[in-house]
Structure 1
Amino acid sequence: MASLTGCNSLGASGPTARAIREVRPENARVKVIEVNDTVVRTILATQADHSFARIFGVAQERHGLIGPGATLDISVWESPPAVLFPSASALLLPGASSTGTGTSFQGQVVNAEGVVTVPFVGRVRALGRSPEDVATEIAARLSSKAHDPQVSVRIADNQADGVIVAGDVQSSRRIPLTTKNERLLDVLTGAGGVRQPVDKVLIQVTRGTTVASRPLGAIIRDPGENISLFNDDVVTALYQPFSFQAMGAVAANTEVNFEGTGITLAQALARVGGLQDSRADVKGVFVFRLEDSQALPQDLRDGSLVTAEGKIPVVYRIDMSNPATFFVMQKFPMHDKDILYVSNAPLVDLQKFVGLVSQIAFSVGGIANSVP
């Protein structure tokens, strides 16, 4: 029995529930939070704050302004008797053609100065103006030369106004934006779609200095997340399988992948086979997480450890001896890289000790009986 005097542990898969609840002074900056309905509501509200709709807002309709390098199709008609433009096709201008009293100048590119050149009109500033505005100016400047001119200007190509789609898509490319107000799923479709399963893809949108990401499945499920895009936005599809690690007194100690749309704590426990009846402490279910600071009240943020990414290490404790906890577990969201840990019940160590003492006692008795 003297050999047991120095033993501090009989073997375990991790700390006890008491050891986690009674955090040592040197580790007091790691917060232990009892999970209840209020805590879950705060976490869910923080997730809603990360939505694309809230971060980027609702885009205003594009008015089809002419950008640098845009290609314009310009058409001019004269009322009979037409005296000016029937001969325009003889001007040998690129894209010029004449049909009766109408003449079309196709593929006119806005130059570096933001202007286009129109026969009998000269230089017309187009950059930053609507096609209707440019058409009105051209008609006004032709009124003294042509017979009742009518002018139409159409943007044939506005490559300067577009978004970049990159990452795990079929074809990374720049996609032009039009007056249709292309949305996130429109440009992903234009790039051929994603190459990985939808539930394993994260979509990142970069607009200026603002960067945000959402699971593709959540964007498909919620039309509000399918935001309209701005010029020079960058959309990146990232292959990111989400996972959590299960440890301790659960049926399976393993890493479990889950879909990007997320799962709850109740689902997570079910996927690892639940608690081990013979070992688990129902009051000792914990989720270790690097949490967004916004998900914590100010008094818990004060004095907490903060990672370089602005995350705070916290331990969420779930008391499964309380029946109401099972309803809370159905709403508590699991995050990527969470650790789900279930401690041993206090009696387990006692049982181990009794078993060890019994083995020693039987061994000593067996030796004594074998000695004549």
Structure 2
Amino acid sequence: MLNIFRALAGVLPAAALLILAGCASIPNSGPSADDVAQQAGTAIAQRYEIVDINFSTVDVLRHNGPDSFLSRFADYRPSVEPRIGVGDSISVTIWEAASGGLFSGSLATDRFTAGSKSATIPDQVVGRDGAITVPYAGRIRVAGRTTQDVQTIVENALEGKAIQPQVLINVTRPISNTVTVTGEVANGARVPLSVKGDRVLDVIAAAGGIRAPVNETYVQLSRGPVTARVAMTRVTSDPRENIYLRANDVLTLIRDPQTFIAYGATGRNAEIPFDAEGISLSQALAKSGGLLDSRADPAGVFIFRFEPESVARALRPDSPLNAPGQLTPVVYRLNLRDANSLFVAQSFRVLNRDLLYVSNAPITDIEKALGILSAAMSPAVTAASVCIAARC
């Protein structure tokens, strides 16, 4: 029996050292907090940037937030008066002061009835030269002008030819003064802009409204070479984002459910929807089931995200990863051992497609190693117990 105990005493330390030395190969859900910091790379071969989540970081991100119609288009102007453009259909009605003129009928045979004093020229489409034809006035350029301007031009052109002419110009089909609405709307269409002016929500309503849930819909506005994308909930809640639209704008409604991925030592590993326009890191942790007491490292809470070059440069001006037009991998780190971080987590916004990762505590690997050691030595211990019982 003494020999058995001596054998166990000799084997146990060696086995323990062997198993503890192999901790790196023990199954794990992901890198530890130290691994995330060490694997970021060097100044020469940088892989990603690590940024601590504090109030300074939150302030930088707030000033480099999502797109805004107001700031992107610098559009504080009210609506503009519509102007005639190429492709519009125009009708021209001309009145004369007396019968018997160019556009009025001859005096009727009935002495009590006067002849017609007006004539309507059939609708014309404004040609590529920006002009329409008016009899006896010739080719009149109308593109870029208001209806009142064109009325004056035609009246002056007919002066001395017609009897005190008065002209009414009407745009019957305004092709050039429209906004194209497409995407997640009930009826995609080319919506004419009114003289009063139309904002983003006015045009969406004219197209039949949206088909997707409001919190999952984004409004994308393209004006010339500039395109901006804003959450529908922001447009509806902030009147400043509900800007006036301009002719030839393209409005696209996009359904994009907002989700983040929770991974690691959290109560729920899954792709989790926001169910709102945006959520804070505190809300994301709550939605993912919080940190597991038995596994999680409170100092190892991370957000993995690709940031635009402008945001990455504001956070790390000297980073070698910053390149125009490219996304920079950034890992945001939160230390929940610090009570103040609970306030910071309420201000840090989680974005669509973010990866929330909580690393295991270092003690977890030791517990796993001891469990493996216990399982490995269990047969020997059992044999020793049997031997003792048998008095061998």
Same fold, judged at TM 0.5 (above): yes
Match of 1:196 among 205, 208, 212: 212
Q: Is 1:241–1:260's contact at 8 Å kept on the other side of the alignment? A: no
Q: CA deviation at 1:173?
A: 2.6
What is the CA–CA distance in structure 2 between the aligned matches of 1:60 and 1:342, rounded to whole Å?
A: 49
Match of 1:52 in 2: 69
Counterpart of 1:44, as a letter, is R
Q: Is 2:40–2:46's contact at 8 Å kept on the other side of the alignment? A: yes
Match of 1:47, SS? coil
CA spacing shift, 1:356–1:130, aligned 2, 3 Å: same
Q: CA deviation at 1:22?
A: 3.0
Does 2:236 match 1:220?
A: yes
Match of 1:296, SS? helix
Q: Is 1:29–1:304's contact at 8 Å kept on the other side of the alignment? A: no
Superposition map of 1:253-292 within 5 A: 253-259=269-275, 261-292=277-308
Q: Is 1:202–1:260's contact at 8 Å kept on the other side of the alignment? A: no
Counterpart of 1:7, as a letter, is G
Q: Is 1:306–1:313's contact at 8 Å kept on the other side of the alignment? A: no
Q: CA deviation at 1:12?
A: 2.0
Q: Is 2:40–2:48's contact at 8 Å kept on the other side of the alignment? A: no
What is the CA–CA distance in structure 2 between the aligned matches of 1:296 and 1:104, rounded to whole Å?
A: 63
What is the CA–CA distance in structure 1 between the aligned matches of 2:267 and 2:40, rounded to whole Å?
A: 29
Match of 1:183 in 2: 199
What is the CA–CA distance in structure 2 between the aligned matches of 1:128 and 1:209, rounded to whole Å?
A: 21
- Give RMSD over aligned pairs: 2.8
Q: CA deviation at 1:306?
A: 5.6
CA spacing shift, 1:28–1:147, aligned 2, 3 Å: closer
Match of 2:347, SS? coil
Q: CA deviation at 1:339?
A: 0.9
Q: Is 1:131–1:154's contact at 8 Å kept on the other side of the alignment? A: yes
1:141-164 Cα deviation digits (max 9, x unpaired) = 333233433222222222123232
Deviates more, 1:348-357 or 1:261-270: 348-357
CA spacing shift, 1:239–1:308, aligned 2, 3 Å: farther
What is the CA–CA distance in structure 1 between the aligned matches of 2:90 and 2:269, rounded to whole Å?
A: 64
Q: Which has the larger radius of gyration?
A: 2
Match of 2:257 among 216, 234, 241: 241
TM-score with structure 1 length normalisation? 0.87
1:15-62 Cα deviation digits (max 9, x unpaired) = 1112223336466441111111110111121115x2111112215633
Q: Is 1:31–1:304's contact at 8 Å kept on the other side of the alignment? A: no
What is the CA–CA distance in structure 1 between the aligned matches of 2:142 and 2:93, rounded to whole Å?
A: 15
What is the CA–CA distance in structure 2 between the aligned matches of 1:227 and 1:304, rounded to whole Å?
A: 38
Does 2:80 match 1:65?
A: no
Match of 2:94, SS? strand
Q: CA deviation at 1:5?
A: 6.0
Q: Is 2:41–2:48's contact at 8 Å kept on the other side of the alignment? A: no
CA spacing shift, 1:15–1:147, aligned 2, 3 Å: same
What is the CA–CA distance in structure 2 between the aligned matches of 1:223 and 1:364, rounded to whole Å?
A: 75
Does 2:226 match 1:210?
A: yes
Q: CA deviation at 1:326?
A: 1.5
Match of 2:91, SS? strand
TM-score with structure 2 length normalisation? 0.83
CA spacing shift, 1:267–1:102, aligned 2, 3 Å: same
Match of 1:7 among 2, 5, 22: 22
Q: Is 1:83–1:146's contact at 8 Å kept on the other side of the alignment? A: no
Match of 1:164, SS? strand
Match of 1:95 in 2: none
Q: CA deviation at 1:331?
A: 1.4
Q: CA deviation at 1:318?
A: 0.7
Match of 2:127 in 1: 111
Counterpart of 2:200, as a letter, is L
Q: Is 1:62–1:178's contact at 8 Å kept on the other side of the alignment? A: no
Match of 2:157, SS? helix
CA spacing shift, 1:69–1:99, aligned 2, 3 Å: farther
What is the CA–CA distance in structure 2 between the aligned matches of 1:216 and 1:255, rounded to whole Å?
A: 22
CA spacing shift, 1:5–1:340, aligned 2, 3 Å: closer
Counterpart of 2:262, as a letter, is A
Q: Percent identity?
A: 34
Q: CA deviation at 1:67?
A: 0.7
Match of 2:10 in 1: none
Regions of 4+ moved over 6 Å: none
Match of 2:9 in 1: none
Match of 1:34 in 2: 52
Q: Is 1:207–1:234's contact at 8 Å kept on the other side of the alignment? A: yes
1:109-135 Cα deviation digits (max 9, x unpaired) = 323433222334333222222211111
Match of 1:167 in 2: 183
What is the CA–CA distance in structure 2 between the aligned matches of 1:257 and 1:163, rounded to whole Å?
A: 32
Counterpart of 1:192, as a letter, is G
Gaps spanning 5+ residues in structure 2: where? 1-13, 109-113
Deviates more, 1:356-365 or 1:137-146: 356-365
Match of 1:94 in 2: none
Match of 1:133 in 2: 149
